[in-house]
Structure 1
């Protein structure tokens, strides 16, 4: 099975792999039609519905979702405030054209 082409090259008995193509090995099965991102609260009936698909939702699940969103909002706000503080403390920056340090205009 070995064929010698050149004095330095020897072919190995390896079969080429078939093309995999675009077929996926794993596929996700959607168990729900809606992501339930918006909520409608009915205080009189004490129910929470999805504003998009009108499916009844567990109020505790909705509370957890809102809590997670609020936490992400506050973390993002804190990072934004830190960045603003850092930028306010800077008075000079490096010029893109000449490479020298130049003052930052505060206006």
Structure 2
């Protein structure tokens, strides 16, 4: 069924899309109210619970958080020791008052 409006315009038989304003495809989960930093581990039930808000947590998520924290700790520890080593090798520094190089006392 072709309807011609003008010589140059032809209306195609297309049905309009339904109005999807009221129908939501995605819904947001409410944001976390707790950071879940302390854990209660029940080894008999094999469950982990937040010590602050008492929400049940995924044990694999908790393990991932602990592994991330440990990795970050080791990186900071290594960086700290590298900085101490670098500072220990220095024997001179620039004086804040006169701008001349001066010896660093090791005592």
Give the corresponding residue for 1:51: 51
Give the SS at the match of 2:40. strand
Give the corresponding residue for 2:31: 31
CA distance in structure 2 between the partners assigned to 1:98 and 1:35 by the alignment: 50
Give the SS at the match of 2:52. coil
Give the corresponding residue for 1:90: 90
Q: CA RMSD in A?
A: 1.4
- Verify: 1:62 aligned to 2:62, yes or no: yes
The unaligned stretches of length 5 or more in structure 1 are 1-28
Highest CA radius of gyration, 1 or 2? Answer: 2
Cα deviation for residue 30 of structure 1 reads 4.7
* Count of matched residue pairs: 79
Task: Give the TM-score, by structure 2 length.
Answer: 0.69
The unaligned stretches of length 5 or more in structure 2 are 1-28
Cα deviation for residue 99 of structure 1 reads 0.8
Cα deviation for residue 51 of structure 1 reads 0.9
Deviation >3 Å, runs of 4+: none
Give the corresponding residue for 2:23: none
Change (3 A) 1:83 1:30: farther
CA distance in structure 1 between the partners assigned to 2:44 and 2:60 by the alignment: 17
